[in-house]
Amino acid sequence: MSLSIRHSWFEATARQRLAGLLDPGSFCEFLPPAVAQPSPHLAQLDLPGAFDDGVVVGAGQLGSRQVLVAAQEGQFMGGAVGEIHGAKIVGLLRRAVAERPAAVLFLIDSGGVRLHEANAGLIAISEIMRAVLDARAAGVPVVALVGGSCGAFGGMGIVAKLCSAVVMSEEGRLALSGPEVIETVAGVEEFDAKDRALVWRVTGGKHRYLMDDCAALVDDDIAAFRRGSIELLDDWQETPDTLARLRAKQARLQGRLSAYGRCRDGLEIWAALGISEPERVPLLDCDELIALKEGLPT
Amino acid sequence: MEKLEFKFPSQALLAAAPPALCGVVGSGNLEILVRSGVDRQICEISVNTSARGFGETWRAVLATFAASQAVGGTSIAINDMGATPAVVSLRLAQALADYRGGAQ
Amino acid sequence: MNAPLPRVWDSLRQSRGKRLERAASLGFGKEIPVDRIIDLLEAVIQPGDRVCLEGNNQKQADFLAESLADCDPARINHLQMVQSVLALPSHVDLFERGLASRLDFSFSGPQGARLAKLVQQQRIEIGAIHTYLELFGRYFLDLTPNVALIAAQAADAQGNLYLGPNTEDTPAIVEATAFKGGIVIAQVNERVEKLPRVDVPADWVDFTVQAPRPNYIEPLFTRDPAQITEVQVLMAMMAIKGIYAEYGVTRLNHGIGFDTAAIELLLPTYAAELGLMGKICTHWALNPHPTLIPAIESGFVESVHCFGSEVGMDAYIAARSDVFFTGADGSMRSNRAFCQTAGLYACDMFIGSTLQLDLAGNSSTATLGRITGFGGAPNMGSDPHGRRHASPAWLKAGREAYGPQATRGRKLVVQMVETFREHMAPVFVEELDAWQLQRSMGAELPPIMIHGDDVSHIVTEEGIANLLLCRTPEEREQAIRGVAGFTPVGMARDKAMVENLRDRGIVRRPEDLGINPRQASRDLLAARSVKDLVRWSGGLYAPPSRFRNW
């Protein structure tokens, strides 16, 4: 049965994702574990660090294109961004400005700032935001790949949306405040973070694809992320944002807020989009959902 | 957190190789970095672990590893988040195989 | 000589008649309005009655339990509760509020700590902690209920009941109560014109009440494949190759837990590669575990009889009626009493996990300050000396235990544990916590789940110990130490003796079985997520939303 030959992106480590994403044997790591330093902040808090501080950066080839890559490890502290972690990503993006690779692939798997490192983590995230925009301004597309167990939340949710495009799987999640944060702040009546199906209907890959928040939806499979990234870059022309384009985007978002702002669930939004059986959306496979979206009134 | 340092006599590993990393510092898991060491007859192991008070268990697990495999001439560093001895043994075997693979 | 006093031979019937009269005088017919249930309970239940509140680890007569707990203790008191589980807060409320005083039961799970406190305060008298089969047996001997409060899916106007896939304990309870002068009251989820099928005939049921919400069902047997570890995969490979294949185990029961879920998910991959399809795991006494779906779809499984159902599995089961037991209406019929009987007498193997194992192989899930009970594991995890029919697995185990001239076989009773649990708690111990629990509770026996003399094999990440082949208590102890890993019990082994046991095949390491621990990868699992299980089921399995990430 073909089910057993899938290699789940959701389940894989950052290093396994990179190994399957890039052309075989092409990956070359910058600051590999043997020369890197674990976080000094975590050590002060009496917590064991990771040699790579939870992010792998380097260069490789994707379908013979030269690319730079950063992959966050969701299993280490929820992929949270600390000082060294952030500095590695910022350094990589600055290198992209200097080297002009075909793209930067950013494998996001993170709840946002590493709270243990407080201000250093916050500064790191804002530096990443600036560096993403600088790389794009230099004409280097930055593509976010979101399909890990931690999704892209908090500051990393913002970073994902600053990228040129987002490739997601259904299992991926993308939002600003995480479900637990919303429940804690606004109460379980507002959002039940334990209702996993609801969480995915509101933040998951299918919803993001239907809302045009991601450019491509792929299966939870490392090879599918590879194919999706290659196809995206085949057609991609990085064009810097102009004031007029930003204004148009802003207008679209305001229209979205007034159309769906009162909805309580992805189901209501999907019905409003014109989907006749919205409750069937979570059951559709990736290709069926893409076909469904193509058939929707625009 | 507890820092532990061990040195075990072990049969020499045939050839030095590029460093190899195995595992992730996640709950109940650990990462192991194998590098070439100084003394060809000794396996040096340093451990950072989140669980305090298991020094003797670590010594027993690592001594068994060093006695049953030729790992002389390696220096092994471990970051641990409460892995059980079963997981530690499995990762050590995987890390060593990765390291040996790099020596081919 | 004085003539003996004339004896009344139908006091139970007379008592039943008076209770029904009291209910009728209050204007009650067979269908009870939901807002008057307490009036009915106070009319038909008398102080000192034996009352069975239906409930198990899945279905619960939760509305009737809450209603009984809200009755007036001045009118209803000194009840003797006879019930499978003490699982809901309202079950414990009965004792705290002075309605009930004595308890005979099987399992307490989440209420274990509250129960232990009540025992220590002497506010509850525990008759005995049973296995399910023992308790059902006693319903027909000396613990017959005067009143049974049960849960059904639906009732029709006559009072016939449809139990749905979660039949569970209901037939055993109703049979004992209705045929010994008792009163049967059913809470139902809905009233319908015509039932899909009749599971309990109307003349065994005295009253029905439509509950304000459907009875609660816990998805207890759903294990997310995403949480199965590599070490569990390794142990599952060892169990399949070293036990299932060698004994040719076809009829079996699995405990709940990730260890056995891993075995279920390795059947279509690892076991199939070993050529074991059709040779092992064909007939099961098992709840409908979602993790069994890939093995069923691969053609490994011929038949599954269930104790109860599992949330989300109904459509899948109905579409696989060759495998599961289903009614003429298409939906499943489970039955705990019959399935436990199958597990005790008709299975060649039980395999399950535990929290503690001692040097004699005794196991216990009891921890200090909690009385949790037994459920059904001790029946399935015991060698039934009354068994007479032979099977290859049973005979081979018997010959290993008693020699080539054996006149009986042996059930395989396998304990599968990692040497350490979470937070580095060792599973192997010199003394079970159960002994300390016995002393602090003043119980007659320590709550041992599976007795060491019933255990045939212990599987850990370090190896398999075959206790059948041990000839002395000392060999047995060293065989257990020999697979106890780096626990203090394991490190205190006699190394030479363990190596000797290994030479004799009593202790076997992964490499002795031709298994390289590095092969133990989650890639071997036929499903690695709940979503994979849905795919295997062709979309028929509908997991509860807490198990979904889509």
Q: What is the pLDDT of residues C23-77, one digit of tens each?
A: 999 999 999 999 999 999 999 999 999 999 999 878 999 999 999 999 999 999 9
Contact C145, C139 (CB under 8 A): yes
Residue A269 placed within a domain: no
Cβ of A206 and C522 within 8 Å?
no
C183 is in which domain, residue-wise? 31-210
Q: What's the domain count of chain A?
A: 1
Same domain assignment for residues C264 and C344: yes
Residues C289 and C341 in one domain: yes
Query: 């192997």: which residue's tokens?
Result: C428
Q: How many CB atoms lie within 10 A of CB A98?
A: 8
Place of tokens 């994702």: A17
Question: What chain C residue is nearest to B28 in terms of C-alpha separation?
Answer: C422
A197 inside domain: no
Q: Is the ipTM, as predicted for this complex, more than 0.90?
A: yes
Residues 6 or more apart whose CB falls under 8 angstroms from that of C58 comprise: C166, C168, C217, C218, C220, C308, C309, C310
- Give the tens place of pLDDT for each residue, C197-240: 999 999 999 999 999 999 888 888 999 999 999 999 999 999 99
C72 and C130 housed in the same domain: yes
Q: What is the dihedral of CA A123, A126, A127, A131, to 10 degrees?
A: 170
Write down the pLDDT at residue B104.
Answer: 44
Q: Do B90 and C517 touch (CB under 8 A)?
A: yes
List the 44-103 stretch of B: residues with Cβ below 8 A of C.
51, 54, 57, 60-61, 64, 82, 84-87, 89-90, 93-94, 97
Secondary structure (H, E, C), C320-333: CCCCECECCCCCEC
Helices C230-239 and C258-266: angle between axes, nearest 10 degrees = 60
**Mean pLDDT on C344-356:** 96
Q: How many domains does chain C have?
A: 2
Residue C49 lies in a domain: yes
Residues C163 and C310 in one domain: no
Q: Give the pair of three-digit tokens for residue C222.
A: 């759903």
Pairing of strands C125-129, C100-107: parallel
Rounded to whole angstroms, what are the CA distances from C223 to A39, C261, C301, C359, C372?
Answer: 36, 7, 19, 30, 21
Q: Is there a domain that residue C53 lies in?
A: yes
Q: What is the CATH number of the domain that holds C432?
A: 3.40.1080.10
Which tokens go with A224? 């599918």
Give yes or no: residues C256 and C125 share one domain: no
Question: For residues C337 and C346, what is the distance between their CA atoms, to the nearest angstrom?
Answer: 13
Tens of pLDDT, residue by residue over C84-121, are: 999 999 999 999 999 999 999 999 878 888 998 888 88
Q: Which chain C residue shows the shortest CA-CA distance from A6?
A: C523
**Helix then strand then coil, % of chain B, to nearest 5:** 30, 35, 35
B44: contact with A, CB 8 A cutoff: no
B1 touches chain A (CB under 8 A): yes
Cβ contact B79–A50 (<8 Å): yes
Q: The domain containing residue A58 runs over which residues?
A: 2-174+214-240
Q: Which residue has 């730079």 as its token pair?
A: A68
Whether C269 sits inside 8 A of A171 (CB atoms) is no
Does residue C19 fall inside a structural domain? no
> For the purposes of burial, counting CB atoms within 10 Å of the CB of A273, is it exposed (0-12), middle (13-18) or buried (19 or more)?
middle
A195 touches chain C (CB under 8 A): yes
Question: B63 to chain C: which residues are within 8 Å by CB?
Answer: none
Q: Is some CB atom of chain A closer than 8 A to the CB atom of B77? A: yes
* A28 touching chain B per CB within 8 A: no
A 268-297 residues with CB < 8 A to C: 282-283
Spatial contact of A70 and A144, defined as CB atoms under 8 Å apart: no
Same domain, residue pair C182 and C260 = no
Query: Is pLDDT at C3 greater than 80 in this prediction?
Result: no
User: CB–CB of C426/C419 below 8 Å?
Assistant: yes
Contact criterion met (CB < 8 Å) for A33 and B1: no
The count of other CB atoms within 10 Å of the CB of residue C72 is 12
Say whether residue A243 is in contact with chain B using an 8 A CB cutoff. Answer: no
Under 8 Å between Cβ of C274 and C545: no
* Among the partner residues B1, B25, B50, nearest to A50 by beta-carbon distance: B25
- A182 occurs within a structural domain: no
Angle between helices C495-503 and C473-481 (to 10 degrees): 100
**What phi, psi does C78 have (nearest 5°)?**
55, 30
A91: helix, coil or strand? Answer: helix
Q: Is residue C545 one of the residues assigned to a domain? A: no
Confidence band, pLDDT 50/70/90 cuts, at residue C550: confident
For residue A185, is it within any domain?
Answer: no
Contacts of B61 in chain C (CB under 8 A): 486
Instruction: Kindly state whether residue C308 falls inside one of the protein's structural domains.
Output: yes
Quote the DSSP letter at residue C375. Answer: B
pLDDT in tens, C258-297: 999 999 999 999 999 999 999 999 999 999 999 999 999 9
> In chain C, whose CA is at the least distance from the CA of A203?
C550
Residue tagged 């837990």 (tokens): C257
In a domain, A6, yes or no: yes
Determine the Cα–Cα distance for residues C95 and C115; give it in Å rounded to an integer: 9
Subunit contact A38:B24, Cβ cutoff 8 A = no
pTM summary value: 0.93
A29 touches chain C (CB under 8 A): no
CA nearest to A266 within chain C: C550
Token pair of B10 as six digits:
């072990």
Q: What CATH number is attached to the domain comprising A65?
A: 3.90.226.10
Q: Between β-strands C303-305 and C349-352, what pairing exists: parallel, antiparallel or unpaired? A: unpaired
Q: Where are the beta strands (DSSP E) in B1-104?
A: 2-9, 20-23, 30-36, 42-49, 74-80
Closest CA to C185 of C82, C91, C17, C54: C54
| Whether residues C258 and C284 fall in one domain | yes
Is A293 part of the contact surface with chain B (CB cutoff 8 Å)? no
Q: Does A79 touch chain B (CB under 8 A)?
A: no
Q: Are residues C64 and C126 in the same domain?
A: yes
Q: Is C502 exposed, middle or buried (0-12, 13-18, 19+ CB in 10 A)?
A: middle
Pick the residue of B84, B89, B90, B99 with the most C CBs within 10 A to test the interface with C by mutation: B84
How close, in Å, is residue C420 to chain B by CA atoms?
6
* A116-136 burial: b if 16+ Cβ within 10 Å, else e: bbeebbbbbbebbbebbbbbb
pLDDT digits (tens, 9 = 90+) for C444-461: 889 999 999 999 999 999
C1 confidence band (pLDDT: 50, 70, 90): low
Residue A189 lies in a domain: no
- Place B103 in a pLDDT band, splitting at 50, 70 and 90: low
Which residues on C lie below 8 Å from B29 (Cβ)? none
**Residues facing residue C363 across a β-bridge:** C357, C450
Q: Where is pLDDT greater, at A43 or C442? A: A43
Determine, for residues A15 and B31 on separate chains, whether the beta-carbon distance falls below 8 Å: no
A248 located within any domain? no
C469 part of a folded domain: yes
pLDDT in tens, C295-328: 999 999 999 999 999 999 999 999 999 999 999 9
Tell me, yes or no, whether A286 lies in a domain.
no
Q: Point out which residues pair with C188 in neighbouring strands.
A: C152, C210
